Chains A and B, each alone.
Chain A
């Protein structure tokens, strides 16, 4: 640890960054540098175009050596972006990195202020505060914690599967937790994928079985994370394993029990088929389900309801896999990093009643159509409507629950492309006339625009306009028995009525219903709409504000399969880089008790949610376990006699910041008492 003359009089080097025009366009940076030069303790004050660049950092390093600086202040962007950069430069100059203080004059000043004078004025106040503060900085040792090499991946859709396989292939032990009885997520329900039209199952099921068979992956399906504690490198996770009432170890997925069930026909809407078919109380979501294990639904099984079933399923199973007494289990695991890939839910089209979903049987959601055109779907791929007819005309309505102030404002990014795909598949399956009702066609992606071009040549109709309503009120003989889509065709400026046999609602993507609970459990943030919030939209798209927790796929925002897989790979790489580094640096912002100042009054003991504070009963003083302290500083503010302090956020540092911010107008404070803490 490079140690320097921290106890000598402060010699401050001050640097203000132009950030091109980002700062210098609003803030008078020359004035800021001039002003800083007049402040006590400031030895060097400079402005420079890009402080974060190599030459910018070199300025700091050289000045430290040439001017014997022992404190550094940089006024530039947010400390959340570049504090680390400048601490490293400070350290390279030979100082302890914590003799550095950053002033945010970009996010907090130039980007939010119109008036040049006001912006410069604000910058000067902030600079004065930082220069005062840095005088009270102390040399600190960086904390290191070991990273447990195991990883938890939550959610086993395509993102979670890909992340788990990437990690497992790199030799890491992965626990993959999936809430549903099978992995595969939404992708497993799809028929084909845009724009290549390769079959979803053909590309997904090999990955599913790779997950199942990988020696480094523990797959817990039909399970949910129930509790998370700890911190980066050392998380303790509790997982609730819901009872299948079928032993996962014994069942081989022969499905004979399903045939043997006393119910000859299914009576419960099949979740996987979006309710388009019925399943029995004993079932398997779909033939390629992974794991290949059936489960029993206690809500509909006669044995659970009455206890008087003949239990033909049990008789049939020669492996005795069925166990009505199976109980929920809570498993506890230790991991160092976590990847959340909890996916999305589709928009509920009932929320837009004028599109007739739930009212007219032949109005379908796009996910239902995925099942309907699927060869392994409820109709074996035969496009037969709920009323038994085959459609001659189909209307696909885009942006249902997307780009709409009444529902969701965001673009769900996938609906244009999957609508094009469905248009192609519907035409292929039925020779029907297919109309697309769209606002814009968003086909930004590799080979996406080309796919759109191809469809234009397939005689698919495109009508530009947001659909007003779907109705069965016929106005002309040719509309009899049909549903009529009313829309303004904005390209020709005419209100049209398009009679169709089938309506497909291209529903948008939404956060999972329990995304708020999940993010609380993992201590991460959500954006306003409820998708998980990335640490930085550009530079840290799979990181979160909680170290060691990463996000991938549609839980972060609507995205298609290629983007989800790319993100999953990125999240796995981020986890790997932590694991392979072996340890991670933590901010040394922990609290500590100054023992001779502590009266042992116990005011702090119950304040710490991490039980980091205990009382040494022989010495009758409080003691903070640094390994457990996460550095919030709540106990510091609580301690009624000022005996607890917090590294990087000492009372003196904050008081001097307050003083610096307000100094400009301060008049002589007479008296004030000798008990004022020395500032």
Chain B
């Protein structure tokens, strides 16, 4: 059972760190874009395209972390074998 507890811990820490990093990155990007447009409103088209691509890349990182965290909790590839091993040891 220790293994599954470790999986849940790992998933929680993974998504926490990912959300923290992505949040800071997106916040900085958005802040920079808004300030750039505030200084030069004519450049809004160019800034928006760059921001869109940057935000999509950062967001996908957080989604990957979410998927990995969910795999660790709900769809661990070795879960069945580990349960078998634990049951065999318990017998």
Q: Are both chains from one complex? A: no
